[in-house]
Amino acid sequence: MTEVSNEPPTTEPPTTEQRDVGSTRFLRAAIVFFSILALFVAGYLLFTSLSKSGQPLGCGEQSGCAEVLISRWSQVFGVPVSLPAGLAYIGVIAVTMSLTKLTDQTRVRATKLLATLALILIFAAVWFVGLQVFYLKAICPWCMTEHALGLIVGGLTLCLVNRYLPIGKLAAPVVSAAVMLGVFISAQALGPYSGPAADRLLASSGDTDAGAGDSRQVALLDGKFVISPAQLPLSGAADAENLIVVLFDYCCPHCRATHGYLSNAIEKYPRKLSFVSLPAPLNSDCNPHWEKTKKRFLESCDLAKLALAVYRTDSSKFPEFDRWLFESDLPRKLDEARAKAKSIIGGAKLDDALKDPWIDELLLKNTTAYHDSQAERLPVLLSPGFASIVGRPGSEQELMEILEQDFKLGGN
């Protein structure tokens, strides 16, 4: 009689080779998953840059998005850095998915390419995080997410590479990645930069003093804010048909961009547009309506006072100093700005002008106007010709459309 065993059948535990195959498959899937996430973020940043649709979602006045995304380091030869980043992720996905289908000899070359891409992502993430933290001193949350994903993808990819290629053979990919990133950084630093306000600010030479005796006044904000344009920093022709009043901060990246947009608009409509520049610092030292001063605005009061002191001393020299303050990627340092102002009007004259109570009175008037406008961020554009208050434009095209519609601009 045959005995029947009641014990369950035994199953062989997976072999080391089977476990390796399973973990490798999981590693490849993780690389592809995180690369797709990173590709989505890079694509969104690229779309935002190319469409000029404003700042990414969640990037308000207190974020450092604009400081990062309009800086020289956000592009290379005019191309947003999110494009080469996206291409790197596409390369990682393509090579990762094809590794198991290649011959041994071809797989070695593909693995070295994959290692190079992984190292580029890691090196680039370290570079751009360092830029934001130590140089720009401004953080873009979307960019930081992109760099974090780059580190994850790079680390996972190197783990996968180690399954096919000994660490001792990574010397060539390391050198290649370092050289390629070095060339990339050099291109950023030395190549052309198409920032919105880097090079095209108008000097306004003789037009600043034109009409200096004009007593015309302009009332804004339901009569709460009254100015005499001829007695304030003016860009463009004094007798232009339409006047725009700009409340801004020299440490505000959006203001820097808008200043360039307005200058280009004046260039297009020289007899129909002019604008008055009125600093309204986001710094509680000179703005009683501002409670908490962010780090990047710590010197905005002093920069504004220097600019107004130059204007008060010699209005014809103001455009040069104003242009200089705006043309750098980052806000000018106070010591540097003070030295520049002294070189323009002289140290003694600058010291005397800074004691003028007119400066503090004007700053109080400007910051109160910003408060009364109830705008949520700078810059604020005011004009009797506007249908409403115009806040920060998302792009030069958007601002031009507003100007042409509200001022009914036609030909030059």
User: Could you tell me if residue 1 is inside a domain?
Assistant: no
User: Could you tell me if residue 106 is inside a domain?
Assistant: yes
User: Could you tell me if residue 200 is inside a domain?
Assistant: no
In terms of domains, do 163 and 113 share one?
yes
Would residue 334 be called left, alpha or beta, if left means φ above 0 and alpha means ψ between -120 and 50 degrees? alpha
Pairing of strands 79-80, 234-236: unpaired
Whole-structure pTM over 0.95, yes or no? Answer: no
Nearest-angstrom CA–CA distance, 65 and 55 = 7
Is the Cα torsion angle 358, 359, 361, 367 positive or negative in sign?
A: positive
Which pLDDT value is given to residue 16? 43
- Residue 263 structure tokens: 């200058």
The SS3 assignment for 67 reads helix
Nearest-angstrom CA–CA distance, 264 and 37 = 38
Which pLDDT value is given to residue 207? 33
User: Could you tell me if residue 2 is inside a domain?
Assistant: no
Residue pair 314/345 in contact by the 8 Å Cβ criterion:
yes
User: Could you tell me if residue 196 is inside a domain?
Assistant: no
Enclosing domain of residue 50: 16-190
Write down how long the chain is: 412
Which pLDDT value is given to residue 52? 63
In terms of domains, do 219 and 75 share one?
no
In terms of domains, do 83 and 170 share one?
yes
In terms of domains, do 209 and 121 share one?
no
Residue pair 379/246 in contact by the 8 Å Cβ criterion:
yes
Domain boundary among 190, 215, 245: 190
Nearest-angstrom CA–CA distance, 274 and 243 = 5
Nearest-angstrom CA–CA distance, 233 and 317 = 10
Residue pair 203/189 in contact by the 8 Å Cβ criterion:
no
Which pLDDT value is given to residue 206? 29
CATH number at residue 256: 3.40.30.10
In terms of domains, do 144 and 255 share one?
no
CATH number at residue 111: 1.20.1440.130
In terms of domains, do 228 and 335 share one?
yes
Domain boundary among 190, 213, 231: 190
In terms of domains, do 20 and 155 share one?
yes
In terms of domains, do 124 and 215 share one?
no
In terms of domains, do 158 and 267 share one?
no
Residue pair 140/82 in contact by the 8 Å Cβ criterion:
no
C-alpha distance from residue 243 to each of 196, 276, 384 (Å): 22, 8, 8
User: Could you tell me if residue 412 is inside a domain?
Assistant: no
User: Could you tell me if residue 172 is inside a domain?
Assistant: yes
In terms of domains, do 127 and 260 share one?
no
How many CB atoms neighbour CB 407 within 10 A?
Answer: 18
In terms of domains, do 27 and 145 share one?
yes
Domain boundary among 155, 190, 225: 190
Which pLDDT value is given to residue 224? 84
In terms of domains, do 225 and 366 share one?
yes
Which pLDDT value is given to residue 88? 96
The SS3 assignment for 381 reads strand
User: Could you tell me if residue 318 is inside a domain?
Assistant: yes
Which pLDDT value is given to residue 51? 75
Sequential pLDDT tens for the chain (412 residues):
455 555 555 555 554 444 457 788 999 999 999 999 999 999 999 998 887 655 788 776 556 787 788 778 888 988 999 999 999 999 999 999 998 888 888 988 999 999 999 999 999 999 999 998 888 777 889 999 999 999 999 999 999 998 888 777 789 999 999 999 999 999 988 887 655 432 222 222 223 333 334 567 888 887 788 898 989 999 988 888 899 999 999 998 888 888 989 999 999 998 899 999 999 999 999 999 998 898 889 999 999 999 999 999 999 999 999 999 998 878 999 999 999 999 999 999 999 999 999 999 999 999 999 998 888 788 999 988 776 666 777 778 888 888 888 888 875 5
Which pLDDT value is given to residue 356? 95
Domain count, the chain: 2
